[in-house]
């Protein structure tokens, strides 16, 4: 049963047609890798999938229900990671993640947060304002949310690997593979060549002037 599916989706942005009549479905335990040049509309497509922006035409279905009707249910099972990290720079990493977990109704103890941040080798940087961290470290703080939301069925990642070092990329790919083998669905874009040893279907968006 498809986790997320799209029926003749088309998006126009600043009156430029990005793509039209897009149809695809992502089954449980499968990874969709969206490819395309800069400006091909990858980010807009992911934001439409997440329900952040409305498509000009076409529908997005989560487990065969239109996301407009089941928005709350859909967002309970979704984790989105975009260009904007979603962490406040004057709060500390722990405070940011605690706030995010309370938002997404994830019951979590502070030690699990510290433990996960240690895994992302952010030891000692947990309780200082995030502004003092480097870009890569801030990205890891934002990526820590993928370790918390266990009841998520769908992950949408928009270029998660930028500004990450090899060790960071390794950590994230391992987490993605465990999530996929656990029956989750992932839709992601990336600039680096995808080195996830997992069957992936690819979707290429042509660049239209």
Partner 1 sequence: MVFDDINSFFDMGGYGLYVWLSFGSSALCLLVLWLDSFFSKRRLITHVLHEQIRQGRIKAAAEQSATAQQKTHGETI
Partner 2 sequence: MTALMAILKRDLALAYRQRAELMQPMLFFVLVISLFPLAVGPEPKTLQLIGPGVIWVAAILSSLLGLERLFRDDFQDGSLEQLMLSSTSLPAAALVKVLAHWLTSILPLIVLSPLLALFLHLSEPMYWALLKTLLLGTPLLSLIGAIAVGLTVGLNRGGVLLALLLLPVFIPLLIFATSAVGSASMQLQYHAQLAIIGAMFLFSLALAPFAIAYALRVSQT
Interface residues with partner 1 (CB under 8 A)?
A: 118, 121, 123-125, 128
3-state secondary structure the chain: CEEEEEEEEEEEECCEEEEEEEEEEEECCCEEEEEECCCCCHHHHHHHHHCCCCCCEEEEEECCEECCCCHHHHHHCEEEECCCCCCCCCCEHHHHHHHHHHHCCCCCCHHHHHHHHHHCCCCCCCCCEHHHCCHHHHHHHHHHHHHCCCCCCEEEEECCCCCCCHHHHHHHHHHHHHHHHCCCEEEEECCCCCCCCCCEEEEEECCCC
Q: Is 99 a binder of partner 2 (CB under 8 A)?
A: yes
Q: Is 85 a binder of partner 2 (CB under 8 A)?
A: yes
φ, ψ dihedrals at 81, nearest 5°: -135, 110
Site track 21-50 with partner 2 (rule: CB under 8 A), x = hit: --------------------------x--x
Selected range binding partner 2 among 15-23, 102-110, 159-167, 199-207, rule: CB under 8 A: 102-110
Q: Is 91 a binder of partner 2 (CB under 8 A)?
A: yes
125 binds, among partner 1, partner 2, none (CB under 5 to 8 A by kind): partner 1
**Smallest gap from residue 100 Cβ to partner 2 (A):** 6
Nearer to partner 2, 102 or 181 (CB): 102
Selected range binding partner 2 among 85-93, 164-172, 178-186, 190-198, rule: CB under 8 A: 85-93
**Smallest gap from residue 17 Cβ to partner 2 (A):** 16
155 binds, among partner 1, partner 2, none (CB under 5 to 8 A by kind): none
**Smallest gap from residue 9 Cβ to partner 2 (A):** 17
Q: How far is CA 72 from CA 25, 51, 67, 189, in A?
A: 21, 11, 9, 25
Residues that bind partner 2 (CB under 8 A): 13, 47, 50-54, 72-73, 75-76, 78, 80, 82-91, 95, 99-100, 102-105
């Amino acid at each position: 049963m498809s986790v997320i599916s799209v029926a003749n989706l088309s998006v126009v942005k600043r009156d430029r047609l990005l793509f039209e009549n897009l149809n695809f479905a992502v089954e449980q335990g499968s990874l969709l890798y969206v490819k395309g040049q800069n400006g091909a509309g990858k980010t807009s497509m992911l934001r439409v999938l997440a329900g952040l922006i409305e498509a000009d035409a076409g529908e997005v279905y989560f487990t065969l229900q239109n996301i407009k009707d089941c928005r709350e249910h859909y967002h309970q099972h979704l984790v989105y990671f975009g260009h904007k990290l979603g962490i406040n720079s004057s709060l500390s990493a722990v405070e940011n993640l605690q706030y995010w977990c309370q938002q997404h109704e994830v019951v979590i103890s502070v030690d699990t947060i510290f433990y996960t941040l240690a895994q992302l080798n952010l030891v000692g940087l947990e309780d200082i304002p995030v502004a003092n961290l480097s870009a890569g470290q801030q990205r890891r703080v934002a990526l820590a949310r993928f370790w918390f939301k266990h009841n998520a069925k769908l992950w949408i990642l928009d270029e998660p690997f930028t500004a990450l070092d090899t060790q960071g990329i390794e950590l994230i790919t391992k987490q993605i593979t465990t999530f996929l083998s656990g029956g989750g669905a992932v839709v992601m874009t990336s600039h680096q060549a995808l080195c996830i040893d997992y069957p992936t279907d690819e979707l290429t968006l042509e660049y239209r002037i």
